[in-house]
Amino acid sequence: MNDQPRPVRDSQVVMTELVLPNDTNQLGNLLGGRLMHWIDIAAALAAMRHSKRVCVTASVDGMSFHAPIKLGNIVVLKASVNRVFRTSMEVGVRVELQDAINGTCIHANTAYLTFVGIDENGTPLPATPVIPESEAERRRYEAAELRRQARLESRKRIEALDRA
């Protein structure tokens, strides 16, 4: 397998969904769980595109809801690998909603997920490095390290409480 570093653009995924009645709650808003499902799919595709292997979700680091998504809206999910660590990779997903009638586009959600590429036995494999090229990609690359450090520190503090 070719594990040469790959640019972020090789992992980019754009996925489009239409919010239908079965996707909404009683207020006509997209169900959070349905959006999380779409985000996980887009992120998994980006991780697999980057690593060229089966990838599994290791964690959802954060998800911020900025605006409600309504019945009839078009949802565009943009996913790409932000940074790669030893066996894991952070994938960022930006969710935008589009109104098909007036063409407006609103940033509705941001999510960060960690994926791990695995072999046929489910064993994690070393991750292929990613090359950020644009200023925005470099910013996301640096921010991914900060999120990773915060995750590791939080995990360490929780484990210390569990031992106490």
The 10s digit of each residue's pLDDT in 99-156 is 888 888 999 999 999 999 999 999 999 999 999 999 999 999 999 999 999 999 988 9
Q: How confident is the model at residue 9 (pLDDT cuts 50, 70, 90)?
A: very high
Element (H, E) at 146: helix 135-163
Q: Classify 34 as helix, strand or coil.
A: helix
Rg, the chain, Cα only: 17
- What's this model's pTM, rounded to 2 decimal places? 0.92
pLDDT at 76: 97
CATH class of 6-163: alpha beta
